[in-house]
């Protein structure tokens, strides 16, 4: 069974996983879900992602959710170049530090700006 990625490219975390896989020539079946249509709440998708979030990965019988967890899994499984996820413990710890920080420090505020720009473009220059 081929690696499957369940994605909605409207979602920034999904785009991150998609770009990471493409940049590393990782072959996968793209399974498109529409968050706006609520497809993540369907019974079939619930078997892939118990938390019903995208992105999600299925690799045989193994399923995984959350963009960072998926990218780290792909980096390990497909032995991506060291600059993505270093073998050196301290360099890897620094990457982990950033990955832990960015999700709430950058992404949350970026999402707020994006939503404001889409819903009220006159408020954002």
**Who's near 53: CB < 8 A, 6+ residues apart?**
40, 65, 66
**What's the confidence (pLDDT) of residue 1?**
72
Which residue spans of the chain are classified as CATH 3.40.30.10? 1-81
Cα torsion 42, 71, 23, 6 to 10°: value is: -10
Taking 3-state DSSP, the helix, strand and coil percentages for the chain, each rounded to the nearest 5, stand at 50, 15, 35
Topology, domain 1-81: Glutaredoxin (3.40.30)
pLDDT digits (tens, 9 = 90+) for 64-116: 999 999 999 999 999 999 999 999 999 999 999 999 888 777 777 777 777 77
């Amino acid at each position: 069974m081929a690696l499957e990625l369940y994605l909605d490219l409207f979602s920034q975390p999904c785009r991150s996983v998609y770009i990471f896989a493409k940049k590393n020539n990782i072959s996968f079946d793209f399974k498109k879900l529409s968050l706006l249509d609520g497809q993540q709440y369907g019974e079939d998708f619930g078997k892939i992602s118990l938390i019903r979030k995208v992105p999600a990965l299925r690799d045989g019988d193994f399923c995984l959710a959350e963009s960072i967890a998926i990218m780290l899994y792909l980096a390990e499984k497909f032995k991506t170049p060291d600059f993505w996820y270093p073998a050196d413990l301290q360099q890897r710890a620094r990457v982990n530090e950033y990955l832990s920080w960015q999700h709430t420090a950058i992404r949350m505020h970026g999402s707020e700006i994006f939503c404001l720009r889409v819903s009220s473009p006159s408020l954002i220059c």
